[in-house]
Amino acid sequence: MYSYNKNKKKLNYMILIIMILVISIGYAILNTNLNIVGTGTINNPTWNIHWENVQVKTGSVSATTPTIDTAKTTVNYSVTLTIPGEYFEFTVDAVNVGTIDGMISVVSNKLNGTEITTLPSYLEYKVTYGDGVDIAPNHLLSAGSSEKYKVHVGYKKDISVSDIPSTAQTLNLSFSVTYVQSDSTAVAKPQTVYTANIYDKNYDTMNAGTNTSLVWIGKSIPSGITTFQTPELAMASLKEPTGGVDRPFFLKHTVSNNTVTDSYVGFVVTNEMAQANPGMTAGTYYLKGKKTKKLVEGNWQCMSEYDDGNGSCIDPDYDTNKTTLLSAFGSSYCTENSDNFGCSVSGLYAVAMSGGDVSAHAGAWYCGVSYYGFSGCFDA
């Protein structure tokens, strides 16, 4: 228990800043110098939040190994990206070794000193938690715990020459997060779990969230569905016994206060697949499903915020899903029609619908998230 003089109350805080500085871009070449810069003030010896444990992702371009300074508030590194599709990604832990619980007060992403709303067409840049969950105010960092942060910067793979500046550009990209002493508004960070639940076709799918063989956005995960901590374990649960075929997809869910808030289809482009299909990039990719319909007097209708007025639903994540598919497959294997964007090579097909559905397929099997809000894996 901590008490403070009413007239001299001070708030413990720590500001951790991740910065990407001086990105020089020439015609068809992206040269990037990246730094993580943090500043911190510690007003009490029991208040201590700092950086630890930098890990570079396999597949990143060669770069100066990120290092944490002696104060553990600054990480410095530099990297050069020269070919579309190259990226640099690393994780670093925000660690609370003090005895006071902290929580996030402010999250800021800036480009040249202004909060980011859009990025240059040639640049990929995002900072999230290690599991891909967005960082947000009021997220708790308890005493004695840590949270992994992930920094990704890349040279977009599928861009035209017209998207690349013909003169050198200098960009200052920064992410900062301010931790303060926690109070009653603190909430646990949403958790990520993985499933590959096989749908029971004998059950009515239109029972508005009561089907216990499916995971529903807005509901808790049914007790009979196994959750996994990694995609690999979820995929292994879909593999047939002896001699079975690998199915390179699974489901990912964000769970907050025991309620599913988001569901994704994850799929894997293997190294072998990328080598056999020029233009593909090996990796694990996620398509975000969106619940855009609700049951009204026995009929499914577009939710008002997603209704285009013409009897169809609009998914606000559709363009992001298209970008994900292009990153995985490359443009050569993708097509778009009036209501979906799909990509296919031998052994793998993935599609995003403008109305909110997403799915990934291999042979007769697929995993998907429906615009009704449910997700499951199916044998077609």
The verdict on residue 1 lying in a domain is no
- Residue 65's pLDDT is 79
- Find the domain containing 298 and state its range: 191-379
Give the per-residue pLDDT at 132. Answer: 87
Which of 146, 181, 216 terminates a domain? The answer is 181
Q: How far apart are CA 251 and CA 286, in angstroms?
A: 9
Q: How far apart are the C-alpha atoms of 39 and 41, rounded to whole Å? A: 7
Identify the residue whose tokens are 């990912």.
252
Strand pairing class (87-96; 49-56): antiparallel
Q: 9-60, pLDDT tens digit by residue? A: 445 666 665 554 433 333 333 332 334 454 444 444 578 888 899 999 988 8
Quote the pLDDT of residue 15: 61
Residue at 319 is within a domain: yes
**Do the domain assignments include residue 44?**
yes
Whether 167 and 287 share a structural domain: no
Helical ranges in the chain per DSSP H: 231-238, 271-276, 318-329
Q: What does the pLDDT read at residue 5?
A: 42
Q: How far apart, in whole angstroms, are the C-alpha atoms of residue 337 and residue 295?
A: 27
Looking at the structure, tell me whether residues 276 and 295 fall in a common domain: yes
Cα separation, 90 vs 277, whole angstroms:
27
CA nearest neighbour of 178 among 271, 104, 285, 241: 104
Boundary residue ending a domain (181, 215, 233):
181
SS3 content of the chain, % helix, strand, coil (to 5): 10, 45, 45
CA-nearest of 161, 145, 176, 234 to 18 is 176
User: Do 157 and 216 share a domain, yes or no?
Assistant: no
Same domain, 227 and 375: yes
Nearest CA among 359, 360, 358 for reference residue 347: 360
Alpha-carbon span 315 to 305, nearest angstrom: 10
- Are 217 and 231 contacting, i.e. CB atoms less than 8 angstroms apart? no
Where is the domain boundary, 150, 181, 212?
181
Q: Is residue 186 part of a domain?
A: no
> How much is the pTM?
0.75
Backbone dihedral angles phi then psi of residue 321, each to the nearest 5 degrees: -65, -35
Mean pLDDT, consecutive 10-residue stretches, the chain (380 aa), reads 40 57 36 39 67 89 78 70 82 90 87 84 87 91 94 82 68 75 92 88 55 89 92 86 72 94 96 92 94 86 90 91 94 93 94 96 91 88
pLDDT at 26: 35
* Residue type at position 30: L
pLDDT of residue 63: 77
Tally of structural domains, the chain: 2
Question: What tokens does 266 get?
Answer: 């994850």
